[in-house]
Structure 1
């Protein structure tokens, strides 16, 4: 089972939205629009109508251009093992979106009540601090429903951008001591060109994305192994454990040791 971290969910009502800032999320995001409309712009502008699931992969640059009278369920989560997720059929819709497919799935009227219930159950599980396995099961069901509802086919796929390819390389190799130069070489562009494109598209640098994904792997190790914090830091590429702890606390507002205590189930 894919392990999720930083799971958050909620329900929003927005009267009007106009030209939200261009950005990319560190987490994966799934939304279900219940009423109103909103236009999402990535490579192209897509009008999202009620009964539509929107799937936004981690690091996927997008802008909400215009929306009105919206009510929406939303869910966000990080993944501790991106390479496993990329090889998991469940995550095929996210892979296809990175390859140029539209980031939406129209839900049938017969499935809509069930999917709404799933979002509500995720929200309840988050608020009641239910075990991780409960949240993971609910998220997998939502993704499965999106995959079933999606009409994505190879005919509609475009070309992956250099930024998208760079993001996937970072996700796969973040703990291998890679640098900006390595990422640029992997996608066949200069470091300067990739730096400009990555920052403009996602709001973060290549180095920042490498750290973000390494920290997610660190979370997995903290929760699933008894390795010392020093050993985890060293294995994942930090030569200075103090620097690792500082970056971890900056990202999650908690130390690695405190995270482990909070998320480890005692026998």
Structure 2
């Protein structure tokens, strides 16, 4: 698994996207300790991710910047990083005293009942803590001291499964992930209740439109008309809240379904494209390659080879 850096403009922070190899689980773990560096520069730029994750710290020491706020890192700190949450610029030396783990994933990891990262924001209860308006910084929670050994044991077990890839590792990783997200949801119970009621009505409406209409031709203007706002306002709001444009979310939803159809059916590639909203098979193939780095045929073939 790798990440791709996207820089929309010199005035906006970079956004990182997760890129998966065919058949790869959309889950990764990252050990955070005194040896980490970014690109050999010793600094981490101001940035956001378009996928959710958590950062859990075992020990105290150092400083983390999220949004425009600086936090002294303490043992038991849990940062819930939603898509679009702004992580501030920091020098690696400021993190030298801390030890912890990062766990990052996409909504696809939660199974076939989650139709895509955007809809999961509203429909999957375990992902509510990751939605707080975007670009404001990660949510900081505290894991009670009595529960900390269990958190570390579960993350380390997930890391081992992902590293060794023994038989059944996919099921084991996803089971550990679900239990971690249950723990996050319980710690963030007050936040979850607020989100369910009224925090993001515009985003919820946008993603409902995308989910209902992605198999058909669908543009930014179509979505804006459906939610009764101007295209310009919708563009700036969705980018600010999520780190992505409306069109990128439409493409993301279509690619989620395209991957499923390629993996689970023998439909011709052109038919897969038409079922996910692409009238032109060539345009579908070009879009798929741009997102995944390989063609739909190569994706299907590689996935079959991996399973075999």
Question: Which TM-score band applies after superposition, normalised by the shorter structure?
Answer: 0.7 to 0.9
Answer yes or no: is the 8 Å Cα contact 2:29–2:103 preserved in 1.
yes
1:122 aligns with 2:148: no
SS at match of 1:233: helix
Aligned mates of 2:204, 2:163 — CA distance in 1: 36
Equivalent position of 1:90 in the other structure: 126
Aligned mates of 2:79, 2:265 — CA distance in 1: 34
Equivalent position of 2:65 in the other structure: 39
Equivalent position of 2:87 in the other structure: 63
Q: 2:107 aligns with which of 72, 79, 90?
A: 79
Aligned mates of 1:123, 1:51 — CA distance in 2: 19
Answer yes or no: is the 8 Å Cα contact 1:19–1:63 preserved in 2.
no
How far residue 6 of structure 1 moved from its aligned partner, in angstroms, is 2.7
Answer yes or no: is the 8 Å Cα contact 2:141–2:188 preserved in 1.
yes
Aligned mates of 1:8, 1:163 — CA distance in 2: 30
Change beyond 3 A, Cα 1:155–1:202: closer
C-alpha RMSD of the superposition? 3.6
1:234 aligns with 2:269: no
Q: Give the structure-2-normalised TM-score.
A: 0.68
Aligned mates of 1:163, 1:8 — CA distance in 2: 30
Answer yes or no: is the 8 Å Cα contact 1:79–1:216 preserved in 2.
no
Q: How many residues align?
A: 259
Higher strand share: 1
Aligned mates of 1:31, 1:189 — CA distance in 2: 36
Aligned mates of 1:251, 1:192 — CA distance in 2: 25
How far residue 235 of structure 1 moved from its aligned partner, in angstroms, is 0.3
Change beyond 3 A, Cα 1:247–1:192: same
Change beyond 3 A, Cα 1:257–1:104: farther
Question: After superposition, what is the alpha-carbon deviation per residue over 1:60-92, rounded to whole angstroms, capped at 9, x for unaligned?
Answer: 342325553343311222224134673233333
Answer yes or no: is the 8 Å Cα contact 1:39–1:65 preserved in 2.
yes
Q: Give unpaired runs (5+ residues) of structure 1.
A: none
Answer yes or no: is the 8 Å Cα contact 1:101–1:156 preserved in 2.
no
Answer yes or no: is the 8 Å Cα contact 1:54–1:104 preserved in 2.
yes
1:140 aligns with 2:178: yes
SS at match of 1:152: helix
Q: Give unpaired runs (5+ residues) of structure 2.
A: 1-23, 109-114
SS at match of 2:274: helix
1:51 aligns with 2:87: no
SS at match of 2:145: coil
Q: 2:246 aligns with which of 199, 206, 209?
A: 206
Aligned mates of 1:154, 1:143 — CA distance in 2: 12
Q: 2:188 aligns with which of 150, 163, 169?
A: 150
